[in-house]
């Protein structure tokens, strides 16, 4: 027997050889075919499969050895984010498993592949600038432009310097460099189209070769620079985007746009000799409109001598110049204001019976409203001209009052008075008449009034006047009368004009107190007021009229109708009727006569006569002007 083992089943014959060691005996050999009979183990049919089959070959049953080939393509990502930074996406590992399975077989094997994709890298810079040119404006004003002041008035004017600036921006430029890279390891050169745009829509001009090319070819591991420039309409852009297009896909890079301002004429110096804060340095854009004010003033003089020396008006024109100097501008702004001070004054030429008499003690008061501004007197004034030193406001109203103007004297005023003379002082509700006034309006310069007091034939005075001008009521009228020359000059006290008869009452020299009581409507015995008694009321005015007549006062002309008494009566007849009524009533200054309850009609007659006589005493029937 024999046995042999072969490497495989390719053996097809088997030869047996017999060698005889005996001399002369031939050996022999025999060849036979070899047919292998398999001794089978495992599976004779298996199923092969693959999880990445791209050609639909699997699963497939096989009973012998086979080789399968197929191709799988991997697509690189189109998302630029996957290439951020270095332009490389990967390596990305893909695994593949093949299986061989049968009833008694379960085999698998795995293979893998790394896939790396490459994209261009885009980086960029951005430099932005603009030109800003400032224009300055300068204005100088003063308020008011002109003014006229009165004595003692403070005139103010305010200088104002106003500076403002405005700017114009142009030459807006954004430029920089765009760098396109091809990553190390890329399979080959890449060609990238390059564009650039601001976020305000402005498209930049790109130059990749110095001749205006807008695409660039970059070898693996290399970079290529392109320049760009843009001229936007304004400075609103804040970002700049470069775009590189490769294989229809866009890769971008962003850069912030911060404009750098190139300033022209951005500072200035303002000056003005009226403003203590100047000179001042200004920076454009720091404060918008700027304004400075400075107030000056002058107080108008009140001195008469000064006004006389300057023609009663003086003033000045105040000039001022503001300047502003900058890189490209030299500005001037002038302003001026005019102020004037003016004043009026008043003089009195005082005469008595047409003659200046410096021995007389007569007083003149200058009023504004009811306030005495100044008092001047005639004593020792040899030329008769009384000069008030008070400076007057031109166009304002004033009053001059003379005192005393005694009963029987006129008050004659020559000059531009307002209205008619009147008994004062201003605001007095019950004037006695010894103070006589006139109003006037001050004018620039000096206005002179001639005031003459003539006797007799002057104005009458009220009962109140005679209650003061006597020896028994304690006033200074006794001394005043003496200074004025007394009765020799027509200046009378009540005492000088007694005796007088009122009804049944005879007032003799020395009856001053009784006369004062009658003038005050009082009972001469007990001093009680009898103001509601018609007899006392008539007696009061009647006695005053008698005193006025005897003092040389004017006598009314014309006639008077007195209800219940008579019509067409002369003034003397009115006085006679008054005396007769009082005598008929038994009036002697004591007791009561014609009270409010009187029904006889005598009270009404008494009051009617009183009304006429009272008008006379108040200067309404005659006032003594013009005299004689």
Contact 524, 514 (CB under 8 A): yes
| 413 and 438 Cβ atoms separated by less than 8 Å | yes
**Distance from first CA to last CA of the chain, Å, rounded?**
205
Residue 16 clears pLDDT 90, i.e. is over it: no
Q: What is the pLDDT of residue 538?
A: 98
* Range scoring the smallest mean pLDDT among 17-26, 161-170, 221-230, 287-296: 17-26
Residue 38 has pLDDT above 70, yes or no: no
pTM: 0.67
| Tokens read off for 482 | 């003496």
Token reading at 560: 């008077």
pLDDT on residue 628: 32
User: What digits encode the pLDDT tens for the residues 478-502?
Assistant: 999 999 999 999 999 999 999 999 9
Q: Give per-residue pLDDT as tens, 309-356.
A: 999 999 999 999 999 999 999 999 999 999 999 999 999 999 999 999
Does the pLDDT value for residue 577 go beyond 60? yes
Domains and CATH numbers, the chain: 150-159+265-342 (no CATH), 344-453 (2.60.40.10), 463-617 (no CATH)
Could you give the 3-state DSSP secondary structure of residue 125?
coil
Closest alpha carbon to 610 in 530, 541, 562: 541
Reported as a pLDDT band with limits 50, 70 and 90, residue 108 is: very high
Alpha-helical runs (H) found in 289-346: 304-309
Burial degree of 191 (CB within 10 A; 0-12, 13-18, 19+): middle
Residues 120-140 have pLDDT tens digits of 999 999 999 999 999 999 999
Per-residue pLDDT reduced to its tens digit, 299-316: 999 999 999 999 999 999
Can you tell me the mean pLDDT for 382-388?
96
Give CA–CA dist 75/457, Å, rounded. 140
Q: Is residue 624 over pLDDT 70?
A: no
**CA-to-CA distance for 436 and 449, rounded, in angstroms?**
14
Give counts: helices (H), strands (E), the chain: 7, 35
């Amino acid at each position: 027997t024999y046995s042999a083992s072969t490497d495989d089943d390719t053996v097809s014959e088997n030869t047996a050889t017999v060698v005889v060691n005996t001399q002369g005996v031939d050996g022999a050999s025999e060849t036979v075919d070899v047919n292998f009979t398999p001794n089978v183990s495992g599976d004779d049919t298996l199923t092969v499969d693959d999880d990445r089959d791209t050609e639909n070959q699997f699963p497939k049953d096989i009973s012998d050895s086979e080789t399968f080939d197929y191709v799988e393509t991997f697509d690189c990502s189109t998302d630029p984010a996957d290439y951020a930074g270095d332009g490389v996406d990967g390596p990305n590992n893909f695994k593949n498993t093949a299986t061989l399975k049968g009833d008694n077989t379960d085999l698998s094997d795995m293979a893998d592949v790394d896939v790396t994709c490459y994209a261009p890298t885009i980086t960029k810079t951005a430099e932005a600038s603009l030109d800003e040119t400032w224009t300055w404006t300068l204005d100088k004003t003063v308020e008011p432009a002109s003014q006229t002041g009165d004595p003692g008035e403070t005139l103010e004017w305010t200088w104002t310097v106003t500076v403002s600036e405005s700017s114009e921006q142009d030459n807006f430029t954004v430029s920089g460099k765009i760098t396109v890279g091809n990553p190390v390891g890329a399979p080959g050169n890449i060609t990238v189209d390059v564009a650039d745009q601001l976020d305000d829509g402005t498209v930049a001009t790109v130059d990749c070769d110095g001749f205006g090319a807008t695409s660039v070819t970059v070898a693996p591991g290399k970079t290529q620079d392109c320049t760009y420039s843009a001229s936007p309409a304004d400075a609103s852009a804040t970002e700049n985007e470069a775009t590189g297009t490769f294989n229809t896909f866009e890769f971008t890079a962003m850069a912030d746009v911060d404009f750098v301002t190139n300033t022209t004429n951005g500072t200035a110096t303002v000056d003005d000799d009226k403003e203590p804060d100047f000179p001042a340095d200004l920076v454009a854009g720091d404060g918008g409109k700027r304004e400075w004010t400075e107030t000056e003033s002058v107080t108008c003089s009140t001195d008469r001598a000064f006004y006389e020396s300057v023609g009663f008006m003086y003033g000045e024109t105040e000039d001022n110049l503001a300047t502003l100097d900058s890189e490209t501008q030299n500005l001037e702004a002038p302003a001026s204001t005019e102020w004037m001070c003016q004043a009026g004054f008043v003089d009195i030429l005082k005469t008595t019976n047409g003659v200046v008499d410096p021995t007389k003690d007569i007083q003149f008061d200058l009023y504004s409203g009811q306030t005495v501004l100044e008092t001047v007197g005639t004593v020792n004034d040899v030329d008769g001209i009384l000069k008030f030193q008070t400076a007057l406001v031109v166009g304002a109203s004033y009053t001059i009052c003379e005192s005393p103007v005694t009963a029987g004297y006129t008050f004659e005023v020559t000059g531009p008075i307002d209205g008619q003379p009147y008994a004062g002082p201003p605001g007095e509700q019950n004037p006695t008449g010894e103070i006589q006034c006139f109003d006037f309006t001050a004018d620039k310069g000096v206005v002179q009034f001639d005031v003459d007091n003539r006797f007799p034939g002057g104005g009458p005075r009220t009962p109140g006047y005679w209650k003061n001008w006597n020896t028994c009521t304690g006033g200074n009228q006794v001394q005043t009368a003496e200074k004025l020359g007394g009765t020799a000059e027509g200046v009378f006290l009540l005492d000088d004009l007694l005796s007088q008869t009122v009804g049944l009452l005879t007032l003799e020299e020395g009856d001053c107190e009784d006369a004062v009581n009658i003038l005050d409507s009082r009972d001469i015995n007990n001093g009680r007021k009898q103001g509601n008694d018609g007899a006392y009321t008539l007696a009061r005015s009647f006695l005053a009229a008698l005193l006025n007549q005897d003092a040389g006062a004017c006598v009314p002309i014309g006639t008077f109708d007195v209800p219940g008494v008579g019509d067409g009566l002369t003034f003397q007849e009115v006085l006679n009727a008054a005396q007769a009524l009082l005598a008929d009533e038994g009036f002697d200054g004591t007791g009561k006569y014609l009270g409010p309850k009187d029904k006889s009609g005598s009270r009404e007659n008494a009051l009617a006569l009183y009304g006429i006589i009272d008008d006379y005493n108040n200067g309404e029937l005659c006032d003594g002007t013009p005299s004689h």
